[in-house]
Each structure stands twice: as structure tokens, then as C-alpha cells.
Structure 1
Amino acid sequence: MANVPGVPVNTSAMAAADVSIGYGGDPVVTGASVELVAGRVTALVGPNGSGKSTLLRGMARLQRLSGGRVTVPDGDAHALSARDFARRVTLLAQSRPTPAGITVRDAVEFGRHPHRQGWRGADPEGRAAVDRALELAGIADLAGDDVDALSGGQVQRVWFASALAQDTGVLLLDEPTNHLDLRYQVEVLELVRNLADEHGVAVGVVLHDLEQAAAVADRVLVLHGGCVVADGAPEHALTSALLSEVYDIDIVVRTDAGSGHVSVHAPRLLLRRLDGRVDARGRRAEPAGEPAPRTPVDA
């Protein structure tokens, strides 16, 4: 992976300024701003329908902007050709179709298309880039296997490797841990962190899991109703009061004073239920050995 061309670590690699996006006249994202910094991970979180994936897709030029601007170091991102943009920014979407009858290496090589002159044009650095991506994604031993014979988690890693092979300085990820078991989720997040720390990549990632966002990100944006309602380091953006309001449930956030680790705990209702103090409906549980009074039922 290469650093953002001409952009040192800790400086802006991509920015969305006052971006608005709508579908059929209905606003989905309103006045949102986000900056992706080389060597840093920025997480977008929020409940379903908050606009986080739409904002990411707008930055990737897959959604038309109704207002605002997206820029890269060269200037307006929308002024670039599709090929030039793809040499600067990679998007790994939530789902991608898996072509039948191709090998893992074939699939990963798709990521090199922006660097070729034509579909089968020369790409002197292509083989090395694909080898590196396979290794980074931990699937080098699967290079000759058919993609349609792999597990869902392995296929996700194949597309992750294809994104790495594109070798850009900005990587946009839309819920990359979806449909992965816990081990692969951790490995993907470690890879994301490594790309920022060791390769200077600017990462923007949409995550549902608040614990994952707190663990992997340098900066977290919380979206609600299409607006950015918090933006900062995890310990500042992820607060009990804000998250309880945004998610409309009782959330407890704790920050370890020594390590600075942010943990987002289950709703208090669930914690009390696990303690046996309330039942599944939130009603106070009866002590063991004492039957609950019967509730009359209308005939």
C-alpha cells in the first residue's frame, strides 16, 4: 500500500464539506462534514437510517450530492475522471456479487483495473500489488482456489484484498465486519488499523458496533437523522447521554482512566434482566420460590 500521493501522514487526504444527499427529494444527509486524515481511522456510527452509509457513498461518488463538496488533495473529487478518482480512493461496499468460475487471485486482480491502460493493458506493478494484498488479507494460501467454493467470511476477505490491491491512499469501508464471525471481525479491524499505522492510509469506515468503533478509530462521527451530532475522539464523541438519545435506549459508556479504552455497555434494562431483577418485558422479577400473581384475562 502506498501513502496518499503528496500527502504526509496527519494531513487531510479527503474531505466532505457541508454535504447534503437526498432520494427523490427526501433529505437523507443534511449539512454533514467529515475529514479523512492520512494515517488515521475515522468511524461513522449511528442507528439504521441515520445516513452514515449514504454519506460514505456520497464521498465515493456513488450518490449524487444535493449540496456541499467532496475534495481530495488535487481539488474537487467530482472533477476527476472515474479512473483518476479510483487511483486515489477505494470503496469496499457492504456486498458485492461473486462471479462464478474465477480464482481468488483473479478476483483480487480486479482491484488493479484503474492502473491498467485498457481492460488487459500493461500494469508493471500489478503482480507485486496483488501478492501484497493477498498476504495482508491473510489469504495467500487460497490464491488458486475458486471463489465460489469459499465460506462467506473468506469471500469477504477476498474483496478486502481486492480493495487493497487497488493501492490507494484513501480506503472507504461500509460495514466490513458484517457477516463475519468474531475471529475474522477482529482480524479485519486489526488490518484496518495496520493500514493506517504502517502504510499511512486514510480510512473512513461505517460500523454498527460501537465497541469496534471505539477500539479501532482515532475519531468517531455520530450521525442521527442525517446530521452529524458528534465528532471527536471516541472518549469525547461516544457519551452515555448522547448515545442514549440517538439510539433511544439506555446506554452506559465507560472510559478506563489508565488505558483510555472506551467500553459501551448493554442497556441497563438488559443488565438488570441478566441480574434477574426484571423479566423480558422490564417488569420486576419475583424472588425465587414465590410465584408471580396471576393477571386476570378477559374472557
Structure 2
Amino acid sequence: MLEKSNIMSGTNFTLGMEFILLGFSDLPNLQGFLFGVFLVIYMCILIGNGLIIVITKVHPALQTPMYFFLGNFSFVEICYTSVTLPRILMNLLTQNQHISVVACAVQLRFFLILVVTECLLLTVMAYDRYVAICKPLYYQVIMNHKFCVQLVIGSWITGIPVVIGQTYQIFSLPFCGSNKLNRVFCDMLPVVKLTCGDTFVNQLSVYADAVLFALVPFLLILASYVKIILTILKLSSATGRHKLFSTCSSHLIVVNLFFGSGFIVYFRPKSNHSEELNKVFSLFYSIAIVTPMVNPMIYSLRNKDFIEAMRKLFSKCIGKE
């Protein structure tokens, strides 16, 4: 690692530099406990979302666009979490908080790509519910398999050029001052703050990307649900209204959890305690303690078709044994 004098000089030592992820360094006596907690969380995320992927693939009753998107969403959740949590577990286990600038850049790049993918997939899922409820007669025509695959591929690749350009722009700059990141992973805003000179343009581009790939999808989801709610309220049957609302409730909960924590990290007004609070919220937002872990529970416990498919799958597995 570079000496402090070299880092302070402002010379571009990027390739040989290391960051220090402060993470939970202020809780030295809880490192083992935190390792156990995050390991359990990670295993729950892998098993829960993996189960969703398997069930939506093999059960005939779940071969619909809604469950096709759900299976892909669960796969993104697994990838999304795997970008940050294994590194956090390794740091807690080895007590080594150093991360090279290359490793940091790679982690940030994949993290941002998956964040954009998740935002866009949530938007696609909202559009699917909009077509199903507001245009039911055209649902099979509009949401055909080819179009669904195109939507998923588009969600994966749309943000890649922008993210690669953004991370290259940031890591091509020299770093100066402290090399300490008050995070448990390499997040964009803390990294930008360590760069030398006027970082206004870089910070502005970060917020512009947040608007483009987070705020705009959120507004599209909001618009979809405004139309969905207006359509449902026109129904005369209370049972029909309840059934349609229930098909959207799981997705709405996930949207609120994901976008809520993200907006708090990037758009919350600054305060004296903003760094510590941002670390907490980025933890929820990034390693996905909230969304990926509760996603299987939200979709399984609130969906009768999914519960039935799970019951049949378990019965078949037990029967084979």
C-alpha cells in the first residue's frame, strides 16, 4: 500500500494504490458474530432465490410471463448479492480490510451493472402487470415469449456501456488525501470523493446516472400502478378487486424496499451523521439484506400458485426418497 505522503501528494498512483474499507472496524469484538450473521443471510439468499428459479422453471402452472420475469429477477438478486457479500465475509474472517484499486473498480462495475438491471427488471415486471390488468384481451399477444426474452436481455445490457464509461472515468483520475472508504464495499460516491481536484463533474454524472437508471424507472413503475389502480377501482366485484390487488402487492413491496433504500443513499440531504447513516443504508441497498433475502418470502407467502407449486415440488422430492 502507498505511504500516506505519496497519497497526499496528488500524483496519479492509482495502479499501485489500495483502499481501506472501514466497514465494521469500529466493532472489533463483533467480527465473528457479524461473519456468522452475514453468512446465514447469504445462504438464505442463495437458497431462497435459487428455489424460486427452480420452481418457476419446472412447474407447468408457472410458465407465464410474470413468473418468467420473477425467475430472472431472482437470478439477478443472487448475482447482485454475490458481488459484495463474499468480499465482506472474507474481510470479516481475515480481518484484512484492504482492497486494491483494480478489485474495487471491478466490484463497483459489476455492482452498478446489476443495480441497473434490477431497476429495469422491476420496471418490466410493472409493465407486465399493467398489460395483464389494463389490457387483458391483448396480454397473450403483447407479452409473447419472444418479447419477454427481449425485455430481459434489454434489462441486462442497457446500462453496461454507461456503467463501463462511468467507472473508467472515475478510476482514470488520480486519488489523493485519505485512502479510507467508510463503507463495507466500493460504492461510487465515496470513491469519487477520494479523487483529486474538482470532482463536481464526476459527482454530477453520478447523480445523472441515478436519475436515468433509478428515478426514471421508478416513475415508470409509479405511472403503471396509477393506471392499474384506476382500472381495478372501476371493477364492480370486490372479490375481483382484491384478487387483482393481491397479484401486484408482492411486486409493490419489493419496489418500495429496493428504491426506498437507494433513494435514501443518493438523494437524502446531508447532515453531520450522513456518512454513518449512508453506510447503514448502503449496506441494506447493496448487499441486499432487504430485497434478496425477503424476496422469496414475499413472493411465496403471498402467492397461492407459488405455494402450491412449492408443495408439489417438495412432495415429489420426498416421494422419490
Provide TM-score, normalisation by structure 2: 0.24
Provide TM-score, normalisation by structure 1: 0.25
**Structure with the higher helix share, 1 or 2:** 2
Higher relative contact order (CA 8 A, sep 6+): 2
**Structure with the higher strand share, 1 or 2:** 1
